[in-house]
Structure 1
């Protein structure tokens, strides 16, 4: 019997793929092509339509990487096609079948109005449901020659930037033709496909499997392979019975919602994302017209804003389908940001900017966080979301964890202040579902809350690079909405899903603390300049708003629009493939340019605010605590020790230090001392001793050194920009050879040891400083980095017996174990912190602060291994 079943499956598969699918189009005629290559960056449609087009033909090559070409398409529907359904088919040379990471196109009318996008799974334009015959066809197609970055998986590539990409064309135009679309064959395709996929998922002992198999056999026996069009209806009639049998009352219910995950930047630059939104959203509008029961959810206010600015026809279409209830705004945020690295204020602004745009521009109030694809989620998220008035949180990414399976798919997530938000992870394990049988049954098998909950959510549609839902998915959904042997798939608003899931699962479990992703830990560190730019921009925005508020109290006009624009720019750069450093080189280059422009504008704005507030000649303190610290000039030279109140202003009046700094040489060592802390630096420029003089306590373990830079190999098993794998810790070189070790004394205010080191093709300068009246030791590194597949860390071993460490996150801190008693703890060998981490034993603790670092490795010293408490340096 098993052999017979296998033979039947082979027959069904071959007839479906080799006969039925090709027969969906029964007649074809070519259309004429002309082409114009845009000289550089993309241009508006009005400019492209006025360009001079040259002859072009199917089979011609086009498109160096990242270039844009426009194609003029012209033809005429044959007169003998009267009464038939006709479509325009275009294939500019697709490589593979997944949209978004290769050639893409947007079809325009001859008047420049956007019609719909073209991608490998959606390469048609419906011209007419019932042709009169003789109608002219005339379109313009904007084609983007985006390279397939993943052709060699996730490894470095020259195609990551226009500056390095090869010049030769990368695409060959394959198809440009008119075709007759056969609705009955189309229907047969999905009758057979859905039943065939169902049959494969059912056990061989299940009677339903055999009923489906026999029905498919009868259908194929009726179908004439030399007349698919003529016999399709008869074949479909053989399947009516098995397709009409409803799902059982206990069948798992999947709440389906159309979706198109569009990464705001990733394997393409932001400029390309602006065009992806038009392609995908125009596809959605076309699908909504064709399928009245279709529903689509899209997040990211920034992407809507781009459409409003650049594609008014698409924008008006979106507003119309929102009013019709077919388009659902979700997410509540400006972009889908990284879930760990933005500051608390930035996370609040993501929500306030997003919700404000959706309310003011679209008249929509959103109710949840839609963040399927980020690399872990801070424990502060629940309170931020609840304070914004939001009710639910959705993600999918935690299913990627390598070590431990998360125990729930539906649960309450509790944050650091006790706030809880209802949360769901779709067990289908993708936010790009195609609604095929294997995925649907996988969701049922995976669902971890069986017995108490009966429903889960499935976002369907091509994504990452956009593309979105296609009509094939809607055909599958219609057949599995209620089909015996299959989970039910019902189109539903996400708000309705969450309300029903919460009502059903009244005793849902509670997960307390962060949602740590046991994967992609390198995103805490990759592209350090982007991390620094983000931290500096967040800090400067806070300062600018603070001092402009002070100026406004003096009668100055608050620059609301300018600061709002700057905030939106920073929020954009916090997207979950920009700030984590997991994009192509072009994105990183633009990121650094944008930060440089924004920071320069913020510095000017802060200076203007201080002048307007009459504070130009004062010492200002934007911190929320009083400070006694060094005032430095533009070159970093100490001017004086000054005292300033919290969020306040003081005159530049020097304070005599109560604990002045002394520096002396002790043989080959240098000792820095201010009566609060004493630091000893050896001839190699390494810290051999840090003594807390108030406690008379040595902090550096005997025989060890602090501020030791260690160069590790960095070749993870996969995902180079994303991952740091545990094995990296065991192969490294200590950078303990110094080119020079110099003592620099700035009177009694500061003493510094400046160390220069060379390694590989790189060079760095370390500074170890002690300041007057300051119990801290200041470490700095100025790095000229030219290494590949290397990781540089700063080792700071301390004599403190701590089972846990505390790490700053948004609006608070989390405590994590420093031991590895369980697999959950062992998986956290790399963790995220914002400005500080702290380790403590009863009665004593040590903190490490940073100005632009997020990745840390904070562990106890296991037997046989070196003790570590190392914030990442670069």
Structure 2
């Protein structure tokens, strides 16, 4: 008997690697190989199968970056293999350590029937079980030569991230194309030994169970003849029966395994490749479901399901059949696994609307869970959106990636800004790519923080990121872990079954209030500025298009509401909110295409808006302004067309130092000869905004070289070095009350226009940057003479408060945070806001001056220049609009945030157009006015309390109506309809979201 675990482990590893695993396929014969290389983008299956092929051989190079090769493999099963299990082994040149990040394939039969996907951990195709002997085998492989881009140590800048800059040399060599005998007994021995070896490695050194397993493994290896593994495998397995049969302790942790393949809708591959990744993975999973009766697989992201339906109907048919069987389970109920920090209120709502509706329409299935395993933190407004969509649970594991603070719970209630609570689970396995390794299962049990009051956790099981899914090896391991002494118990379950059990056993879980902030990947709030601007612009154009189209459809009988166009455009915008597109962490190809897509979206939405406005304005020469902002004058709540009015004047004068003064009745702004704001004096409040001796509108440049994730991360040490950009090339008057400032630094140039609008307290700052820096971070700083322990930043359907101090490590870790249209700081009785048309990242710090006053510095993040995965990130011209508003209340911040993002549109027409809906309380903000998605012609209004207090308001429809009903986000009734032919009173809690549906006469 060996007492030294290390010796047994070393013996086990060598025997497995050098003798047992190779014996799984004891005999093989080569297949004949031929190939056709598609000259450009991927072709249809029919074209690929019909293409002329030329001979090829194992060892041949193939596949330039992003290319497609169609291989034809053929052969005959030897007659002496009759009665044995035979598989084709198809190795395209894989590195088994990188599933999902390299070449992949999808195998078809000659008639175009999909068989299964190929990846580094799934290289086999079953030919016969048993084989008859003499069968002719012909298979076609659609092989994608996707380049390996992920190299963690270090990340290497590469031109391979775009087909336009990648070389055309082959990346891979065919490694194996064989028919082989599959020895199932040896394969099971491999699984037995792996499970027990991994279990032994996790058991305490002095555990009796460890010694039992050690002795059994030792006996099994003794029983194995290394020159006749196949002939002695059964005897070796017999030595392991007893230790594998011993049941788990009654108190063992329970793990619900869910088959899973987290597939990034774009990341280190373009969108078009994701379509094929999904087809490969789902082909594998439907085949596995046929073979494994207990296996359950779940897939989120309705967009990916829609891609299969549209592009791979032959795969879709298999998926539909598997869903009908109840073990291929739609999950999550969102269009994509979106970023949740940056999408606006309506966009976040529509993620659930379009996702849930797809699964309802296609399968009659409604998801109760939000499924976001890899999203980079969770905004505080999300819980009520989940609830308003008809869901009640949330799953993610990403918070386990936080660098500073360990999250204190795995199962808890998450409370959002309005008080809504969502039952939430973080799988303690700490991965969405669980492979059923003993180390993973042991970690989940040890790591689970809710022991004693709960005992269930979930393990998303299967290769992900680039897809692949669950393997037969994982399923075999799970079978052995169902009831095994020393291990947690593992059972396959649907997400719904898991959550129902977890919620039932944990009657009073702890509560976490506010955002779920990820202490990592903070720079995703800034990377790829054009992608972020495209998203913000698209969201507001969609608001306008729905509003004016609904108004025109109600007012003008001949106007057709563009249901199909809006549905399609929404889905395009939602797709680009995926958590590696909007955050700026995808390859250059993805963001190049995104910029073109956003331009096309803008053009199409602008055309829809103009079409509706022309119908509403009628024929005439009267100047009109259509303004969709909630608080636009003469357009309360939902917007309307209003005649422009004259406003108060603003003036420009010179300062003795060569600077300038901008002033009106409300605000006096002094800009020195360097183009810096040294004073912003609120005349009505008789107080200064800018901190003493600390100029605002200060551009600051930092080095930006994070420890690891280039496009994703900014590390706290970036603040240690800063260059203030105070030298100006020119500071000159602009048109009207404005000042033009030009600066040069490095290889870049900044042009700013600072304008004080008449009749406002708003200093508008337009910043144009011709950016050509590398590994730099550009900030725009506003040191404010404000004593505030917290500040507000806009999030979905409200705002969220964060501390300005760093009392604890939790606060210190939030050194870069997200806002939507505004950030607001306030002392009792006086505040200041900064609003933006397109930036999201910011930081707030505070210091105490020698005069004992407090300087609170707000800095917005403008641009970065990481080199991976896109070496040209953000290079080129950019334009940003910010506005500083001294004396602002939260109400002012809300109003001006919309005003900056939704300027009026001037047209000529017959006369003013009255709003489709009016609201008499500015605290109630309408986020959507549209016609009901079911084509009924009903008008749907979505609104929320935006100031953080209780609100009473009256909604007055500008159309004839017979009844109104409160609905969920999918426009389904939540209560009985109420008759109405006019104004509707509403009462809202702080930040409460509500949707009303008006039936028209």
Q: 1:850 corresponds to which residue? A: 836
Q: 2:20 corresponds to which residue? A: 20
Q: 2:142 corresponds to which residue? A: 142
Q: 2:588 corresponds to which residue? A: 585
Task: Give the secondary-structure state (helix, strand or coil) at the position aligned to 2:4.
Answer: helix
In the TM superposition, what is the alpha-carbon distance from 1:155 to its structure 2 partner?
Answer: 3.6
Deviation digits for residues 276-320 of structure 1, max 9, x if unmatched?
000000000111111011000100000000000111121111111
Question: Which of 595, 598, 601 lines up with 2:598 in the alignment?
Answer: 595
Contact 1:263 1:465 in 2 (8 A): yes
Q: 1:363 corresponds to which residue? A: 364
Deviation digits for residues 665-719 of structure 1, max 9, x if unmatched?
1221211111110111111111111111111111112212110111111111110
2:14 is equivalent to residue 8 of structure 1 = no
Q: 1:630 corresponds to which residue? A: none
Q: 1:610 corresponds to which residue? A: 613
2:632 is equivalent to residue 626 of structure 1 = yes
Q: 1:243 corresponds to which residue? A: 244
2:314 is equivalent to residue 313 of structure 1 = yes
Q: 2:399 corresponds to which residue? A: 398
Q: 1:661 corresponds to which residue? A: 650
Q: 1:634 corresponds to which residue? A: none
- 1:145-156 → structure 2 map (5 Å cutoff): 145-151=145-151, 153-156=154-157
Task: Give the secondary-structure state (helix, strand or coil) at the position aligned to 1:618.
Answer: strand
CA distance in 1, matches of 2:62, 2:84: 33
Q: 2:981 corresponds to which residue? A: none
Task: Give the secondary-structure state (helix, strand or coil) at the position aligned to 2:862.
Answer: coil
Deviation digits for residues 363-387 of structure 1, max 9, x if unmatched?
2111110000011001111111111
Q: 2:453 corresponds to which residue? A: 452
Distance 1:75 1:650, change over 3 A: closer
Deviation digits for residues 196-219 of structure 1, max 9, x if unmatched?
111111112111111111111111
Unaligned runs of 5+ in 1: 628-642
Q: 1:70 corresponds to which residue? A: 70
Unaligned runs of 5+ in 2: 864-1001
Q: 2:741 corresponds to which residue? A: 755
- 1:518-597 → structure 2 map (5 Å cutoff): 518-553=519-554, 554-555=556-557, 556-597=559-600
In the TM superposition, what is the alpha-carbon distance from 1:142 to its structure 2 partner?
Answer: 0.7
In the TM superposition, what is the alpha-carbon distance from 1:809 to its structure 2 partner?
Answer: 0.3
Deviation digits for residues 192-244 of structure 1, max 9, x if unmatched?
11111111111121111111111111111111111111111111111111111
Q: 2:113 corresponds to which residue? A: 113
In the TM superposition, what is the alpha-carbon distance from 1:4 to its structure 2 partner?
Answer: 2.7
Task: Give the secondary-structure state (helix, strand or coil) at the position aligned to 1:498.
Answer: helix
CA distance in 2, matches of 1:648, 1:460: 49
TM-score (norm 1): 0.96
Contact 2:783 2:855 in 1 (8 A): no
CA distance in 2, matches of 1:867, 1:571: 36
Contact 2:3 2:211 in 1 (8 A): no
Distance 1:198 1:400, change over 3 A: same
In the TM superposition, what is the alpha-carbon distance from 1:736 to its structure 2 partner?
Answer: 1.2
Q: 2:93 corresponds to which residue? A: 93
Task: Give the secondary-structure state (helix, strand or coil) at the position aligned to 2:439.
Answer: helix
CA distance in 1, matches of 2:618, 2:173: 64
CA distance in 1, matches of 2:595, 2:754: 28
Q: 1:58 corresponds to which residue? A: 58
Q: 2:214 corresponds to which residue? A: 213
Moved segments of 4+, more than 4 Å: 643-646, 862-867
2:677 is equivalent to residue 687 of structure 1 = yes
Distance 1:713 1:94, change over 3 A: same
Contact 1:619 1:644 in 2 (8 A): no
Deviates further, 185-194 or 565-574: 185-194
CA distance in 1, matches of 2:353, 2:643: 38
Q: 1:39 corresponds to which residue? A: 39
CA distance in 1, matches of 2:638, 2:532: 25
Deviation digits for residues 804-831 of structure 1, max 9, x if unmatched?
0011100011111000011111111111
Question: Which of 724, 735, 738 lines up with 1:745 in the alignment?
Answer: 735
Question: Which of 699, 709, 714 lines up with 1:724 in the alignment?
Answer: 714
CA distance in 2, matches of 1:13, 1:650: 76
CA distance in 2, matches of 1:95, 1:502: 41
In the TM superposition, what is the alpha-carbon distance from 1:156 to its structure 2 partner?
Answer: 2.3
Task: Give the secondary-structure state (helix, strand or coil) at the position aligned to 1:266.
Answer: coil
Q: 1:104 corresponds to which residue? A: 104
Task: Give the secondary-structure state (helix, strand or coil) at the position aligned to 1:861.
Answer: strand
In the TM superposition, what is the alpha-carbon distance from 1:615 to its structure 2 partner?
Answer: 5.8
Q: 2:998 corresponds to which residue? A: none
In the TM superposition, what is the alpha-carbon distance from 1:862 to its structure 2 partner?
Answer: 5.6
Contact 2:699 2:778 in 1 (8 A): yes
TM-score (norm 2): 0.84
CA distance in 1, matches of 2:617, 2:856: 52
CA distance in 2, matches of 1:705, 1:191: 69
Contact 2:248 2:485 in 1 (8 A): yes
Contact 1:688 1:705 in 2 (8 A): yes
Q: 2:726 corresponds to which residue? A: 736
Q: 2:705 corresponds to which residue? A: 715
CA distance in 1, matches of 2:316, 2:635: 51
Task: Give the secondary-structure state (helix, strand or coil) at the position aligned to 1:106.
Answer: strand
CA distance in 1, matches of 2:637, 2:173: 65
RMSD value over aligned CA atoms? Answer: 1.4
Distance 1:369 1:742, change over 3 A: same
Q: 2:763 corresponds to which residue? A: 777
Contact 2:416 2:515 in 1 (8 A): yes
Task: Give the secondary-structure state (helix, strand or coil) at the position aligned to 2:89.
Answer: strand
CA distance in 2, matches of 1:322, 1:229: 38
CA distance in 2, matches of 1:493, 1:369: 14
Distance 1:386 1:145, change over 3 A: same
In the TM superposition, what is the alpha-carbon distance from 1:26 to its structure 2 partner?
Answer: 1.1
CA distance in 2, matches of 1:344, 1:707: 29
Distance 1:392 1:418, change over 3 A: same
Deviation digits for residues 340-398 of structure 1, max 9, x if unmatched?
11011011100010011001112211111000001100111111111111121000000
CA distance in 2, matches of 1:250, 1:648: 61
Q: 2:806 corresponds to which residue? A: 820
CA distance in 2, matches of 1:422, 1:726: 32
CA distance in 2, matches of 1:558, 1:369: 31
Contact 2:105 2:143 in 1 (8 A): yes
In the TM superposition, what is the alpha-carbon distance from 1:565 to its structure 2 partner?
Answer: 0.2
Task: Give the secondary-structure state (helix, strand or coil) at the position aligned to 1:11.
Answer: helix
Q: 1:270 corresponds to which residue? A: 271
Q: 2:917 corresponds to which residue? A: none
Q: What is the aligned residue count?
A: 853
Contact 1:618 1:649 in 2 (8 A): no
CA distance in 2, matches of 1:358, 1:186: 38
Distance 1:351 1:681, change over 3 A: same
CA distance in 2, matches of 1:449, 1:4: 35
In the TM superposition, what is the alpha-carbon distance from 1:532 to its structure 2 partner?
Answer: 0.5
Deviates further, 155-164 or 220-229: 155-164
In the TM superposition, what is the alpha-carbon distance from 1:866 to its structure 2 partner?
Answer: 8.1
Deviates further, 258-267 or 660-669: 660-669
Deviates further, 602-611 or 734-743: 734-743
Distance 1:2 1:783, change over 3 A: farther
2:489 is equivalent to residue 498 of structure 1 = no
2:665 is equivalent to residue 675 of structure 1 = yes
